[in-house]
Structure 1
């Protein structure tokens, strides 16, 4: 089938101070969701994509989601908040569409297929509307494509961290069983000079932030202030994602400017390539 835009009409609790829930019909494949709203980005909090009882994407608020979209040079428009399941930053069409949100239920033919073809019973997008928002409005349009089962997906997970001047090590990063990391954003007000990735005692990336951002721009990315990206798939090749299977030691060594205040808050926004029951 050709790609098709449809309106999503099952939207509940569009009320200040409430948890708004958008319910997607099961059976379709979703390339993108566009949420038209008058809610300021910072007041659209704890955005989550839920499949069955699993949170597969989560963002602190709309500002973080918009910054991630800007980094990938996705179109960002005032009054519209987009969730992109089709990954346009990949090089080939098959890789771009590989991670669309498929909800078609099919019968596994072998035992090996069971973990990769989970039964999908519900798909929702939820977010909290700040109590200060006056008369919030929400309308949703979905871009759908050929129906496929849920397969590999780019999960987005949050991990809070604290940073201080000098060297900081983050060693509690979830690894899952057979996941890969596509990209990591360190979101913080601290000034970060360098992020070094250490996997099983081997440095995978050790480059100053100024050089890293130059390479990202050469690869068609748009680095955002306060969002320090460690982009393993900068060339649009998913095969370059950081493999985590059998990884015992995974650390991010973050070098912060001498002027960084003690215990400055930050969080990692981690993009994993994984299955539904993974990390």
Structure 2
């Protein structure tokens, strides 16, 4: 049965402070909605989602979170930030719900969940921040698998840029890698243990993304391994000796142009 609940109040809601929302334990969280007034999405910074104090996902600011959601066609509403744990772009309802955050501790052998929080910094330039949070919940379940992300800071120049420090962890799969930069990216290539998994110009990548229900985002180029909504197509991190992404930037790219990766993973709580 689906429940729609008001969540407890954030702590430390003031400009220049770190606001923290603590989830009640026991429910299964499909989505959490944060209504914000007196502070813009861009002024909500260093967003972190933590389970048992362990960071599972982060976004630089609310603008990045909105871009992430819009990419997957999660509907945006001005004045709200949405945290989607259930992943509606997956092919089957079972796969969608498998990624929800179950926090019940009544299931023998499951991870014991003691805390789930969302925290972020409120920019000192905010006007008069007010935050309210709501949850869309489903049937009680243990914590199983979830989506996580990691950021990889980069500086890219014209021509080929090889990145070989993307984190690999046992019992973990990579769903997608998003390249965020103002530079023009011409080609993306992914190799795993020397085998080429992906090697396409970005105009073809854009066509594939559009054909599979992904919205284009300014300054984002994405290698998405689960375009068909099949979680089994995510790339396994097990037994990986070498994993590298090659970004080919346009000839007019200024040396050391700032960039970063958002790497999406799926794993259990203990992984990554």
Shared fold, TM over 0.5? yes
The equivalent position to 1:165 in structure 2, one of 153, 158, 163, is: 158
Matching residue of 1:214: 207
The equivalent position to 1:268 in structure 2, one of 261, 264, 271, is: 261
3-state SS of 1:261 partner: coil
Matching residue of 2:29: 30
Kindly indicate whether the alpha-carbon contact (under 8 Å) linking 2:177 and 2:222 is maintained by their aligned counterparts in 1: yes
CA-CA distance at 1:223 after TM superposition: 1.7
Give 5+ residue unaligned stretches, structure 2.
Answer: none
3-state SS of 2:203 partner: helix
Matching residue of 2:141: 148
Distance 1:90 1:101 in 2: 16
Matches within 5 A, 1:70-109: 70-109=70-109
Matching residue of 1:60: 60
Kindly indicate whether the alpha-carbon contact (under 8 Å) linking 2:50 and 2:116 is maintained by their aligned counterparts in 1: yes
Matching residue of 1:112: none
CA-CA distance at 1:184 after TM superposition: 1.2
CA-CA distance at 1:106 after TM superposition: 3.4
3-state SS of 1:11 partner: coil
User: Is residue 243 from structure 1 mapped to residue 242 from structure 2 by the alignment?
Assistant: no
Matching residue of 2:44: 44
TM-score by length of structure 2 reads: 0.98
Kindly indicate whether the alpha-carbon contact (under 8 Å) linking 2:25 and 2:104 is maintained by their aligned counterparts in 1: yes
Distance 1:156 1:143 in 2: 22
3-state SS of 1:186 partner: strand
TM-score by length of structure 1 reads: 0.95
Kindly indicate whether the alpha-carbon contact (under 8 Å) linking 1:21 and 1:127 is maintained by their aligned counterparts in 2: yes
Distance 2:102 2:151 in 1: 23
Kindly indicate whether the alpha-carbon contact (under 8 Å) linking 2:190 and 2:197 is maintained by their aligned counterparts in 1: yes
The list of structure 1 runs, each at least 4 consecutive aligned residues, that deviate by more than 4 angstroms after superposition, is none
Matching residue of 1:19: 18
Distance 1:88 1:37 in 2: 24
User: In angstroms, what is the RMSD of aligned CA positions?
Assistant: 0.9
Give 5+ residue unaligned stretches, structure 1.
Answer: 110-116
The number of equivalent residue pairs is 271
Kindly indicate whether the alpha-carbon contact (under 8 Å) linking 2:9 and 2:133 is maintained by their aligned counterparts in 1: no
Matching residue of 2:225: 232
Distance 2:114 2:121 in 1: 23
Distance 2:20 2:28 in 1: 19
Kindly indicate whether the alpha-carbon contact (under 8 Å) linking 1:223 and 1:229 is maintained by their aligned counterparts in 2: no
User: Is residue 253 from structure 1 mapped to residue 246 from structure 2 by the alignment?
Assistant: yes
CA-CA distance at 1:162 after TM superposition: 1.1
Distance 1:161 1:32 in 2: 31
Kindly indicate whether the alpha-carbon contact (under 8 Å) linking 1:10 and 1:24 is maintained by their aligned counterparts in 2: no
Distance 1:57 1:148 in 2: 21
